[in-house]
Amino acid sequence: MQAHWSISPLAHANAPRIRQHIDQKTKPLGALGQLESLALQLALIQGSERLTIRQPTMLVFAADHGIAEAGISIAPSAVTRQMVQNFLAGGAAINCFCRANDMQLQVVDAGMLEPLDDPRLIQQRLGAGTRNLALEPAMRREQAEQGLALGATLARAQVANGCNLLACGEMGIGNTTPAACILAALSGQPVEVCVGRGTGIDDDQYQRKLALVRQALTRLDGKRDPLQLLTEVGGFEIAQITGAILGAAEAGIPVLLDGFIVTSAAMLAVSLAPACRDYLIFSHASDEAGHRLMLAWLDAQPLLQLGLRLGEGSGAALALPLLRAAVAFYNDMASFDSAGVTV
């Protein structure tokens, strides 16, 4: 793994000039709300007079989790692989949303239990699923480091191919549990507010999930080093998403984030390299308990609130039209002077 991530903080000294450009548009001050903040962020990142969105690309990382053996999900781990097959066949929600919004989609095997031989699948397997995080480290440190490196390399490859907006999604039965562990460890919030019901577990499963997260945190004994957290309680897909976020920020492009699991990776990325926070765009507020705590920890204002709790990158794909709208008004909306409008 890289000992140091070379991420350039945004040149916030340029913000007043960009705000003036936005304020001169034919609208009342601040009338476009979050779209104005979004345009400002994109202008700071791109550093050019005209904004562009080129080849927006969704990377969906899939992996399995040892903790799923404890029965804390509504589905068995075999469903991870089945859903990946669904992604490749074009039949999942994320396929529909990417098609609807002209977004490229790539699917990555970060470590499913059973490999899948399909040329459309990017093979970056760190192993056949993680170990049970309640009982032992989820992965070896070298696997965590390799996951960060693979994610970063894949992000850089998208940029080299012409992409200037990356989005991240995930698929992994049981992965709300590692995400809840990361949230609780980094934020210090009580387990009860960090752990949710995932895709709809019953009361008995929820109590078991709470107990397992507490067991994992007891094993951590207060440790908050991000790489150690990833090793102890993370997932192979979370490792690679963390790396993809860092790699995209190094390359100077924004990352459009999905919900609970992807935001746990964002917390790790910001903990490893705080400058990457400038490049993060938060698509929606998930219906999963704890996601709002993550957003608060990251000082993030999500673009949408639709009651989503699907994963797959679905919220990020749905938010893409808002980014396009922000670019369009920034580039093409008339100013008061050019339109001859006096106020």
pLDDT tens digits, 230-280: 999 999 999 999 999 999 999 999 999 999 999 999 999 999 999 999 999
Pick from 30, 25, 16: nearest CA to 331: 25
pLDDT of 334 strictly over 80: yes
User: In the prediction, which pLDDT does 56 show?
Assistant: 98
Question: What distances in angstroms separate CA 334 from CA 22, 24, 73, 153, 330, one per listed residue?
Answer: 10, 8, 52, 40, 9
Q: Tell me the average pLDDT across 285-303.
A: 97
What is the residue-averaged pLDDT of the chain? 97
Q: Tell me the average pLDDT across 313-323.
A: 98
Q: Tell me the average pLDDT across 318-325.
A: 98
Q: Considering 36, 170, 237, 312, which one is annotated as catalytic?
A: 312
According to DSSP, residue 12 is labeled: G
pLDDT tens digits, 6-27: 999 999 999 999 999 999 999 9
pLDDT tens digits, 178-216: 999 999 999 999 999 999 998 889 999 999 999 999 999
pLDDT of 3 strictly over 80: no
- Alpha-carbon distance of 7 to 312, in angstroms, equals 27
Active site includes 312?
Answer: yes
- Please give the share of the chain, as a percent, with pLDDT higher than 70: 99
pLDDT of 1 strictly over 70: no
Instruction: Determine the Cα angle at 197 with ends 215 and 128, to 5°.
Output: 65
pLDDT of 166 strictly over 90: yes
Say what the pTM is: 0.98
User: In the prediction, which pLDDT does 343 show?
Assistant: 80
